[in-house]
Amino acid sequence: MNDKILKTKHGEIELPLFMPVATRGFIKAMPWKKVNEMNIKVVISNSVHLSITPGLEKIKAKGGINGYTGFEGSYFTDSGGFQIIREELVDIDDEGIVFKDKKSGVQIKVTPEKSSEIQEIINSDVAMMLDDCPPYGSPKERYEISIERTYRWGKIFLQKRVPGQLRFSIFQGGYDYDLRKKSLDLMLSLPSDGIAIGGLKIGEPKEVTDKIVEYVVPLIPKDMPIYLMGVGDPLSIYEYSLKGIDIFDSTYPTRNARHGYALTSKGPINLKASKYSMDFNPIESGCECEACRYYHRSGLRELLKSEDPQFQYLVTVHNITFMQKLMKTLRENVDMAKDMVKHYVKDPNTQIQG
Ligand SMILES: [Zn+2]
């Protein structure tokens, strides 16, 4: 269903693509040996967080983030604008954004120049520009400021090309067709290797997200990869890939795994539930992941109850395997993909039930 291919310095990546989140360079509960064996080709990290922990000095000493961590695939790095703006924003003006890292308390001012420099040192495969993403419900004037700012920041960021690194632009414009078009046209006038639809899935009703996606996708050149940031639950991936989105990321599979939820084609199951205490089936029959090959639901439930760290590892492996299977099925057979997601809920922001 998708002929676009993303070519990074680590190889060719088929689209649509789902990226597990590795905020500080590592996927939680997952050793790289396993990630590499599972053929996970791309993860996304946050460049602002990486610049604080482990810090640019250490990453630079190892020639970039792959050298520092041992991951053999491609890194996307976010500029921070989307992922942390709501929780860690201290201040924003025409020059840039001041973030505060919640863990360390460290404050950092990120300008487009600084974001370019940080992501160059990190040496990621794909660097996202710094954008100005107003909160949902902002007045029209605020969106107009954001469009101008994002354009100016993009101009600085996207024109600083780094060999071997792709650079993606982001457009804004809130929920108004004219403003969306204005921002998109401005951003398309700049050189970029892909584009992200910014300012969506930040609290607006699903119908609004859908309308904007349906309006903007046909306006984007056919060969340009389109990224919907922060979206990655199974049902949304299915729906938005049909609407033309190519790239997704979310903590959904990994975070839910750590909280006891395993993803199956019959919907998510909560392994804490007592109904699994005598259930000797694997999480999903037919799944060939390590958790399904060697463990049954009853055993996994005991590991969870005793807070054994193996549990997080095993269910993370399973959930990422499920997402990989979903993406492969989406590329090969849309009807079968529909079957895999039909038991999932519409609103991924509420914790899944099983
Ligand atoms: Zn499995």
pLDDT of residue 154: 98
Our measurement of the distance from residue 313's CA atom to the centroid of its chain's CA atoms, rounded to an integer in Å, reads 20
Q: CA 142 → CA 135, 148, 213, distances in Å?
A: 9, 10, 21
Stated pTM of the model: 0.95
> What residue ranges of the chain have pLDDT lower than 70?
1-2, 81-87, 346-354
- Strand segments (E) across 79-129: 89-92, 97-100, 107-110, 126-128
C-alpha of residue 117 to centroid of ligand 1, in Å: 40
C-alpha of residue 260 to centroid of ligand 1, in Å: 14
Our measurement of the distance from residue 67's CA atom to the centroid of its chain's CA atoms, rounded to an integer in Å, reads 22
* SS3 category, 351: coil
C-alpha of residue 45 to centroid of ligand 1, in Å: 25
pLDDT of residue 3: 75
Query: Active-site residue numbers?
Result: 78, 249
C-alpha of residue 339 to centroid of ligand 1, in Å: 17
C-alpha of residue 40 to centroid of ligand 1, in Å: 15
pLDDT of residue 351: 47
Report the candidate in 348, 120, 319, 117 with the shortest Cα–Cα distance to residue 230. Answer: 348
